Structure 1
Amino acid sequence: MLSAFAQAFRTQDLRRKLLFTLFIMAMFRLGSFIPTPGVDSQAVNKCLAQQSDASLLDLVNLFSGGALLQLSIFALGIMPYITASIIIQLLRVVIPRFDDLHKEGQTGQTKLTQYTRYLTIFLGVLQSTTMISLARSGNLFAGCSERVIPSNSVWTFLLMMIVMTAGTGVIMWLGELITERGIGNGMSLLIFTSITARMPSQLLTIGQSGKWGAVFAIIGLMLLVSIVVVYLEQAQRRIPVQYAKRMIGRRQYGGTTTYIPLKINMSGVIPVIFASSLLAFPPMLAQFGSQDSRWVQWISANFHQDAWPYLTTYALLTLFFTFFYTAITFDPDEVADNMKRYGGFIPGYRAGRPTAEFLRYVMNRITTAGALYLVIVALIPSLAIIPLHISQGQMPFGGTTLLIIIGVGLQTVKEINTQLQQHHYEGFLR
């Protein structure tokens, strides 16, 4: 990987793209430290110093690089765009028009992208309104008596909402700039930047508390899990496909052999994000209930990240969403119909329904292995805090973070290698 980056910097065109990407990532991090107008930065810092455990909004704070709890102009981070993208994908199952747009090629994808942008801004308005309301009521920082938003004016509320929503739009624009003029997928790289930016400070905090042994254990665990994730993320089952020979006029077509690559983890990190998001709702609802209520006390006692009810529900939700999302993204009937249309078949299986049943059988077995792999990776950080004697808020990585970091790293390195090969071919042809 390092050799690919070194070689890319020696190539003028790729060096310009890499420097542009690094510049945009630096601008994104800079915006995470600029406070929103109307926020008392000193009060926010005091409240952050009093937070010992993981926040209920830790998932959103993770994808914003810590900007959420600092109430900066980029407080919402990339989360509205991620949510909008997932909703648009799920609507393909419910709304036939969206599925038709997906099949239209570049024109349809452009329209879906435009719908995603509109939905991102709408979700930005909703989430910024919720965040400002939580901050004003004192529920954003539990146990902190400081007023992080001193003014109760309606105009201050509207100004903060507009600035945070505009920050979401700017982040979306920065991500698209990286995709068009830089290296890699812009949105993925901004998420990568947000996650990795917090790791050094969290490790340093653990070390300063006198637990340097835990720091080295965490680093070793991260390397071990990273090796496993890299291996399994690239693992795939290749289904051989043969195409029959066809004579059209005087030309012969087909007669080739290829394969269908079925990844073990076809759903990516989406199931873990879905499961984490759903598990954040019960504690958030409990904040608005009476502390004397039994359901509030039960949620407070059992829905924290080192309790067995929480971990069991987390595992079951991850399993469910893995099968659910894989069923949405991969349709065996559609693949079998496309193969039949172009004269393709799997050796030993007739084209059409038998091929679809075979693909469905293989996908169920592969998805089972992929779901178990996601559950194990997602639960390792939560289980590791018990022997390390640290809180969940001090853990510098989670299953979601490692999957995202490694996935984005692999994708970026593959794109760099592709552009390097293209550059060498162009130089040879010249």
Structure 2
Amino acid sequence: MNRFIETIKNIFSIEELRTRILNTLLFITVFRLGTHIVLPGADPSRLNVQTNGLLGLLDAFVGGAFSKASIFALGIMPYISASIAIQLLTLALPYFQKMQKEGESGRKKLNQITRVLTIAVTAVQAITYIRTTIPAEALLIDRTLFTISSVFVLTAGTIFCMWLGERITDKGIGNGISMIIMIGIVSRLPGAIIGEAQSRGTSSIFIFFLEMVALFFVIMGAVLLTQAVRRIPIQYAKQVVGNKVVGGQRQYLPLKLNAAGVMPIIFAQALMFIPGFVFQMGAEKSETMATLNSLFQDYTSWPYNLLFAFLIIVFTFFYTAISVNPTQISDDMKRSGGFIPGVKPGLATSEYIGTVLDHITLPGAVMLAVVAILPSFASQLGMTSAFASFFGGTSLLIMVGVVLDTLQQIESYLLMRRYEGLMQSGRVKGRTEGVTV
């Protein structure tokens, strides 16, 4: 406890770090206040927004703003969708690949294209959101006028959230976009814990204690999945530069066990939502449609979880294959004079890295699938759905990743000032270490 208090004192004794932490708290407070401001022209007491399936995931990412019809109802998610689209285009189209290789100027162009695409995506999603989720009885003004004004308000809200994220990155601590998503998720945790405790009652306090212990170990498992790497030794040849001999050092290429992050879960959830929506439209026409609808909507059933886990494993291999390029890594090593001991440079090195990547991706994909379906098992054990959602899935992985990144940045400030780190056992490793994806 004394060491923890001393670490807190060290953190706030560094003026720059203290300023960044206070700025981050200020920006987060502004975001949280915005999630409670309802769209102009809507009566919040008459809103009954259903958040099932993918909509429930979106509502969790924006801290409940989606179900409240807030001005931040779409949050930062249109920007995430636009960023993913640009990333995929960069891998597929030579024009975007060339732009990415142009350095800082190319990145600025890609960021500008992403912002413009974000506005377009937000406008389309805003119209869909207003038409499908806001009931007519909740409107205080004309429907057409409400739609037009709300499209502008929701678009402005998303742009403002994007601006807040950029300010957190520049003036605060951590990745601002990820921080905003994480805050939206964490904001639901206290209510979920209180709701679970109330559902258990005083007679089942021991069961609630066991649930909290199980949650702790699940979080530790997610930390291991996020930080686990396979280090490949790289030897750099000695070179004569002037009168000095440089190089000859041994470094390591860290390949992450889960290089795809949370993207396979997001893709799998989106794909599972589509047939569920289609079958729901025809559920009343036949018993077959009703059965298929229950299959794709009941996330606690074993067929749903089996298919969900299979899709996650497939998407993990797919996203890792398009994100980590062994040929490019091999070429970069060759140009910098590096080689893997016992492996010839060039094609042999590329094949070796690809083989290692395949070997570690399989267990990583299986572990990711297990983490994704854990909430369904928690629900089957009698936990409330809100509390069970924190036992795995996208929410847990995002929280763990963002917290690790933030702690890593704080520790870097402490080490620069020759203070002790946050952890006595070693340095905090964030997601930024390893292969860039």
Aligned equivalents of 2:397 and 2:200: distance in 1?
29
Residue in structure 1 matching 2:40, options 37, 41, 60 = 37
Match of 2:182 in 1: 192
Aligned 8 A contact 1:203 1:396 in 2: no
CA contact (8 A) 1:40 1:149 kept: yes
1:117 corresponds in structure 2 to 115
Task: Kindly state the Cα deviation for residue 39 of structure 1 after the two structures are TM-superposed.
Answer: 1.4
**Cα offset, 1:151, TM superposition:** 4.2
Q: Distance in 2 between matches of 1:338 and 1:133?
A: 50
Q: Secondary structure at the match of 2:138?
A: coil
Identify which of 281, 284, 292 aligns with 2:285: 292
Q: Which amino acid aligns with 1:201?
A: G
RMSD: 2.2
Match of 1:95 in 2: 93
Unaligned runs of 5+ in 1: 139-145, 426-430
Residue 423 of structure 2 corresponds to none
Change in Cα spacing, 1:100 to 1:287, as seen in structure 2 (3 Å) is: same
Q: 1:283/1:37 Cα in 2 relative to 1: closer, same or farther (>3 Å)?
A: farther
- Residue number in structure 2 paired with 1:338: 332
**Equivalent residue for 2:147?**
157
| 1:252 partnered with 2:252 | no
Match of 1:218 in 2: 211
Q: Partner residue of 1:263?
A: 256
The secondary structure found in structure 1 opposite 2:252 is strand
Are the counterparts in 1 of residues 54 and 270 from structure 2 also a CA contact under 8 Å? no
Alpha-carbon offset, residue 242 of structure 1: 1.1
Equivalent of 2:192 in 196, 202, 226: 202
| CA–CA separation in structure 2 for the residues paired with 1:355 and 1:301 | 48
Query: CA 1:294 to 1:54, structure 2 compared with 1: closer, same or farther past 3 Å?
Result: same
> Taking structure 1 as the reference length, what is the TM-score of the superposition?
0.89
1:215 offset after TM fit, Å?
4.0
2 CA distance for matches of 1:2 and 1:175?
Answer: 29
Q: Which residue of 1 aligns with 2:371?
A: 377
Deviations 1:252-298 (A, max 9, x none): 33222211111111111111122122222233334544622456413
SS at match of 2:222: helix
Q: Measure, in 2, the Cα distance between the counterparts of 1:11 and 1:240.
A: 37
Q: Runs of at least 4 residues of structure 1 off by over 6 A? A: none
Unaligned runs of 5+ in 2: 420-437
Q: Comparing 67-76 with 308-317, which one deviates more in the overlay?
A: 308-317
1:9 aligned residue: 12
1:317 to 311, 317, 323: 311
CA contact (8 A) 1:33 1:67 kept: yes
CA contact (8 A) 2:38 2:70 kept: yes
Contact 2:330 2:346 in 1 (8 A): yes
Figure out how many residues of one structure are paired with residues of the other and give that number: 411
2:231 maps to 1:238:
yes
Q: Which residue pairs with 1:404 in the alignment?
A: 398
Does structure 2 retain, via aligned residues, the 8 Å contact 1:59–1:277? no
Change (3 A) 1:2 1:148: farther
Q: Which residue is 2:430 aligned to?
A: none
SS at match of 2:245: strand
Q: Write the deviation string for residues 47-70 of structure 1: whole angstroms up to 9, x where unpaired.
A: 36xx7x845510111111010011
Whole-Å Cα distance in 2 between the matches of residues 229 and 394 of structure 1? 17
Any idea what the Cα deviations from partners look like across 1:336-374, whole Å, max 9, x if unmatched?
111112221111011100111100000000111110110
Q: Distance in 1 between matches of 2:269 and 2:385?
A: 14
Counterpart in the other structure of 2:127: 129
Task: State the one-letter code of the partner of 1:313.
Answer: L
The one-letter amino acid paired with 1:179 is T
Q: Deviation of residue 5 (structure 1)?
A: 4.8
How far has the Cα of 1:41 moved from its partner? 0.5
TM-score by length of structure 2 reads: 0.88
